[in-house]
């Protein structure tokens, strides 16, 4: 078994933690082979059987490694899920890009593609409006999910119990005066989203900015991202909102069909 190539993984930290490093090295070993025995781990790390066993036991506990019927160690479900999640984000950006471009051209407003990370949202992609008064692109930014229409659209796809698990405190903090301030208010807002099928944001993330969003689901009806159309609040009149909602619901269905 060859040693992993450190050059491609960054410089060594000033204060390395050997137990963490050894656990990560075991995971990296799966790049070279599909399974390993306890003896393999001992020889690879040059540690005692008891040390290797404790490392593997912790990796099993966290789902990064599993043990098959032959007692061999293999990649666990958590390791696979992380890899799939990364690939999925790349795929959803590619799949959603034409929809973002179409919506941006059709309405002349900024369009965001967003994913949920815990109780925050990450902006994966944006098409920025070319109007003088516009909402800027937020690609790469992270915001509290409860302060954005995109975040509320994704939170509403979860059960109330799943949402509760994401929020330890009942008091919520946001960047704007109109941000949702309590978990009970968030629960009420999410129930509205579930009933109407879309989410809104009126100056909850930034003064002067409004938006309408809808969750994108795959063929299994599993939410993978959300699309938000962000508009200066002076232009987010009822007629405009109705048109945006109609277009977003069409995109949701088209994206789902594309995932079949």
CATH code of the domain in which 137 resides: 3.30.450.40
The token pair that represents 186 in the structure block: 């968030």
| Residues 213 and 118 both lie in one domain | yes
Residue 84: predicted pLDDT? 61
Considering the domain boundaries, does residue 137 fall inside one?
A: yes
Considering the domain boundaries, does residue 6 fall inside one?
A: no
Q: Tens of pLDDT along 136-194?
A: 999 999 999 999 999 999 999 999 999 999 999 999 999 999 999 999 999 999 999 99
| Residue 39's CATH number | 1.10.10.10
Q: Is the pLDDT of residue 22 over 50?
A: yes
Contacts of 233 (CB under 8 A, 6+ apart): 202, 203, 208, 209, 210
Q: Tens of pLDDT along 192-227?
A: 999 999 999 999 999 999 999 999 998 888 899 999
| Residues 31 and 137 both lie in one domain | no
**Domain hosting residue 203, numbered range:** 87-258
Q: How far is C-alpha 86 from the geometric centre of its chain's CA atoms? A: 9
| Residues 229 and 118 both lie in one domain | yes
| Residues 62 and 148 both lie in one domain | no
Number of domains in the chain: 2
Mean pLDDT of the chain, nearest integer? 90
Give the end-to-end CA distance of the chain in Å, rounded to a whole number: 41
Last residue of a domain, one of 75, 95, 117: 75
Alpha-carbon torsion 244, 247, 250, 256, what sign?
Answer: negative
Q: Is the pLDDT of residue 34 over 90?
A: no
Residue 2: predicted pLDDT? 43
Residue 89: predicted pLDDT? 60
Integer Cα distance of 70 and 201 in angstroms: 54
Task: Give the pTM.
Answer: 0.68
Considering the domain boundaries, does residue 160 fall inside one?
A: yes
Helices marked H in the chain? 18-29, 38-45, 49-61, 77-107, 149-155, 160-166, 183-196, 238-258
Q: Quick one: angle between helices 77-107 and 238-258, nearest 10? A: 140
């Amino acid at each position: 078994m060859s040693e992993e190539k450190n050059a491609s993984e960054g410089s060594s930290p000033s204060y390395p933690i050997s137990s963490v490093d050894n656990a990560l090295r075991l995971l990296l070993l799966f790049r070279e082979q599909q399974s390993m025995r306890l003896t393999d781990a001992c020889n690879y790390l040059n540690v005692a059987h008891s040390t290797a066993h404790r490392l593997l036991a912790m990796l099993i506990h966290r789902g990064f490694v599993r043990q098959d019927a032959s007692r061999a160690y293999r990649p666990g479900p958590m390791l696979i899920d992380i890899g799939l999640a990364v690939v999925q984000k790349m795929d959803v950006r590619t799949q959603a890009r034409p929809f973002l471009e179409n919506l941006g051209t059709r309405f002349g407003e900024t369009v965001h593609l967003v994913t949920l990370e815990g109780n925050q949202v990450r902006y994966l992609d944006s098409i920025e409006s070319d109007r003088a008064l516009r909402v800027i692109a937020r690609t790469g930014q992270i915001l509290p999910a409860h302060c954005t229409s995109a975040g509320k659209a994704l939170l509403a796809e979860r059960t109330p119990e799943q949402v509760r698990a994401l929020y330890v405190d009942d008091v919520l903090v946001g960047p704007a005066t109109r941000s949702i301030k309590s978990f009970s208010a968030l629960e009420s807002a999410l129930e509205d989203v579930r009933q109407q099928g879309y989410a809104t944001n009126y100056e909850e993330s930034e003064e002067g900015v409004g938006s309408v969003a809808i969750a994108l689901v795959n063929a299994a009806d599993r939410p993978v991202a959300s699309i938000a159309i962000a508009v200066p609040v002076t232009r987010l009149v009822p007629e405009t909102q109705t048109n945006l909602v109609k277009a977003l619901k069409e995109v949701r269905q088209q994206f789902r069909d594309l995932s079949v």
